[in-house]
Structure 1
Amino acid sequence: MGSPKSARSGKPDANSGFQICCGRADGRKAIMRRLALFSLIFLVDAGVAVANPFHEELEELLETHKRILATEAVVHSLAEGLRISEKDLWPEVSVTALQGRENRNNAEGTANTGVAISEFDLTLTQPIDFWQSKGSAIEIARLQYTQGQLGLEQTIQSILLEAITATIGLRTATLVESYARTSVANIKTQAQLEDAKVAKGAGLSTDVLQAKIQLAGAEARLSLSKGALRQAINRYRTVFGHEPPAASDIPILDIPLYKLPRTKEECVELALENNFQIQTVRNGEQVAKANIKQTRATSFRPDLNLILDSKWKSNVSGITGDTTEWIAKLEMKYNFNVGGSAMNSYRASQQNYLAASNQTQDARTLIEEQAKNTFEQLQVAQENAGFLENQANIAGEFLALAREERQLGRRSLIDVLSGETAEINALSDAEAAKSQVAITAYTLLFILGKLEISSVKVAAVIIE
């Protein structure tokens, strides 16, 4: 991954201090222009967003991600289980064929027999689902299939949120590392100027030490920002499965303002209606209710079957020659445990339904809280981003004035160096705050169950 481009600060020279400071000011202004552009991109309406290959990359990710493929396989398995349950209502055919020899020792006065025999039996059993035992099983399988589909959609949106967060985090880490690198370069330049002044007898050695102190702090911040960038790269690589693009090619993600609810009440209403966690536990409650019906039918009701049985026999049972049997019957069969285990099964199904019902209510409460908190976090993050951007602007203006006054002898070196530190911290904080706004916005869409590729807005890049 390419290194972020540092701001131009000029060549250090003892006789050109003012020009060098102007060069650093130009570098700072360039950074501020990029920051302002990034702020504008995050705050503009979704109408300025244009198509971007990032959407195609997201589509490819959702088609190939192993977690999604695994969930799809589970859904296919549940679909087959539903077909199995539906086909339990179909008749079953049993075929038996035999051939051998039968020796019979008959009663006195009757000759014994020993002949070759053959027999072919064909039985058709049609279940009669009078008490809906199989119908309940079909209903359960259908609900489980729906639950699997909900899980698949939730997994897709979860992966999409991870991809969005990884992309925003990578861009933020790249910019913060760039700011830290620029700060180190500027402080190094100032330290070289002070060294040159001391060598000519015009400077103070304490100023040199102050510059070196600030330089050590700036290098420490640069080291931290490099570590954060490496972690962001690792996260991007884990989510997307390939190396991240160059810094200039990282997409700038816009906030889908038009998809976000305008009030907290609307946010809660949408979350309770569309959140996949709530839909999943609600579906589980329906499964538990259907299981009560199935348990009642299988434990306290007999099985009913219509049976058609036909047999073709040759020399069987001591009867010489061919015989044919046709039997049509309605069979009722009931198996029960003398210890009353059927009642225990029924009570267990009732308790499972009670548990599922309580889980649904608990999930609604938690999602309502989560929706409210995320909505409020988004508002706070937007306000915080505005304040920090203003702080960054003020810090930049102060640094520019401090450098000019330093040339005129009205400011100490520590004022300039402190201003340099304050500006880089303000720029980094503003960048992190804007990232948090975007991540919170997309997280809110995930909670609302509305996060789709079409929701991801990629801002147009303005090339100066």
Structure 2
Amino acid sequence: MRSVACFVICLIAGGAATARAETLMGAMSRAYNANPQLNASRAELRAIDEKVPQALAGMRPRVSGDGYLGVQRNRLITQQHDIYPNDPTQSDFSKSIQNGKSVPRAATLAFEQPIFDGFKTQNQTLAAESGVFAGRERLRLTEQRILFDAVTAYMDVLRDTAALKLQESNVAVLKEQLRQTRERYEYGQITPTDVSQAEARLAGGKSMASAARAALDASIGVYRKIVGVEPKTLSPGAPVDRLLPKSREEAERIAQTEHPFILAALHDADAADLDIKALEADFMPKFSIIGDIFTQTDLVGLGNRNVGAKILGHLNVPIYEGGLTSSRVRQAKETAGQRRLNADVARAEVLSLVRAYWGALQAAKTQIAAAQTQIAAAERALYGVREEAKAGQRTTLEILNAQQELLNARIGLVIAQRDRVVASYAVLSALGRLSSGWLGLTPLGYDPAIHFDQVKGLWGDPMTPDGR
């Protein structure tokens, strides 16, 4: 069992990787490039990018055209009563009927160019840009969570694989122990109680091995969901201490300035302040140039035509709108206050995360050292109990208990080594630095600024930059 234990411990802690084995960085790269949830968040940010050209459209010209074409029939009936002036008793009646058919048609080309809108478009554009920046930080949050989930899933598969091998090895040891116990019973050295104890412990070992296999299957399922492929042969995982600061105080300082949760909240607060200014523009006058060119044929009667053009200055001065704008401004001010408080909440939450994860990392380091010491002591104890049992000084139950203590110590080391790696990535996530760039996963990571620059200045074209 000692050789199996050494193998599974190396599986978690480090060692020579099997040829063509999956690495932790490779698993994170797969998740970064193919995870559907992360790709959905990227699509969501691209949709947010479109709010900027939508806001810019407020000061751009608007042109529209109208046209009419149809058939018109006219029936004109005229009746005339003529009275002779020399003889009023005599008169003539006449009636005429005229039928006509025309094709009335008209066309109008109208345009409007805003000149001044109280700086509404300017503030809406700035607010939209702040929303884009906040969206980028939220995308970073999603990226961090997916990468951390990939690390956790990877290390869980390694942990559960090692635990299963330890449990299976334990079952093999218990079978051998039961065989030896039965032989001693046949020679009259022990009682039936010892045999029953060995049988009970073997049954318990098989149950634990079955539970370990179920746990491994569950971990493999999570790995498949996050990374996108089945785990084949996984190389040992290693902590990311090289990217971590030397002290908790430095970690807290970095997190307060770089964590995307805080930065997103700050951008949200900026957008809320700009929303107030955009709403206040509704109190101000607005001026635009409007005009149209038109042609009308056979609209009034057959054979007539009207062609013309006009250009006008349009001034709109709001006087009273029932209190609607005032209410919206007050509402926006309360929202802005909420967003600023949300930024304070984000700072407190990030600080709490840094301290919790930093403590977990230090605890994992201590647990590894303690587990290694516990294993060495348990191995010596098991050897001593077995030797003393040969002399009749120890019982079968004491041997079984010593074996169980050694198994628990080895599983504890496997868990501590898994927690050591995961905790280091958790600290990096709390800093806001668990990203493709910091880890060097791919030479060309996803750059959200590319799509933003592609659509920001577009005046038309419904096609997306990728051709859809």
Mapping 1:57-456, distance limit 5 Å? 57-98=27-68, 118-245=105-232, 249-298=233-282, 300-313=283-296, 324-335=307-318, 338-453=321-436
Distance 1:337 1:71, change over 3 A: farther
Secondary structure in 2 matching 1:252? coil
TM-score by length of 2: 0.79
Query: Cα offset for 1:397?
Result: 2.2
Task: Tell me if the contact between 1:403 and 1:416 (Cα under 8 Å) persists in the aligned partners.
Answer: yes
Distance 1:180 1:451, change over 3 A: same
Distance 1:363 1:452, change over 3 A: closer
- Please tell me the residue identity of whatever aligns with 1:384: Q
TM-score by length of 1: 0.80
Distance 1:325 1:379, change over 3 A: same
Mapping 1:24-39, distance limit 5 Å? 27-28=1-2, 30-34=3-7, 37-38=10-11
Q: Equivalents in 2 of 1:96, 1:243: separation in Å?
A: 60
Distance 1:454 1:39, change over 3 A: farther
Query: Cα offset for 1:222?
Result: 2.6
Q: Equivalents in 2 of 1:102, 1:91: separation in Å?
A: 39
Query: Cα offset for 1:453?
Result: 4.7
Q: Equivalents in 1 of 2:21, 2:255: separation in Å?
A: 29
Task: Tell me if the contact between 2:12 and 2:158 (Cα under 8 Å) persists in the aligned partners.
Answer: no
Distance 1:242 1:51, change over 3 A: closer
Secondary structure in 2 matching 1:253? coil
Query: Cα offset for 1:158?
Result: 1.2
Task: Tell me if the contact between 1:285 and 1:353 (Cα under 8 Å) persists in the aligned partners.
Answer: yes
- Please tell me the residue identity of whatever aligns with 2:277: K
Q: Equivalents in 1 of 2:345, 2:275: separation in Å?
A: 21
Task: Tell me if the contact between 2:382 and 2:402 (Cα under 8 Å) persists in the aligned partners.
Answer: yes
Residues 212-269 of structure 1: per-residue CA shift (max 9 Å, x gap): 3433443343343233223222322332344332xxx123211011111211111111
Query: Cα offset for 1:367?
Result: 1.1
Distance 1:39 1:69, change over 3 A: closer
Query: Cα offset for 1:309?
Result: 3.1
Q: Equivalents in 1 of 2:427, 2:143: separation in Å?
A: 15
Query: Cα offset for 1:51?
Result: 10
- Please tell me the residue identity of whatever aligns with 1:267: A
Q: RMSD of the alignment, in Å?
A: 3.3
Secondary structure in 2 matching 1:96? strand
Which deviates more from structure 2 when the two are superposed, residues 190-199 or residues 317-326? 317-326
Structure number, greater radius of gyration: 2
Aligned length: 416
Q: Equivalents in 1 of 2:437, 2:21: separation in Å?
A: 11
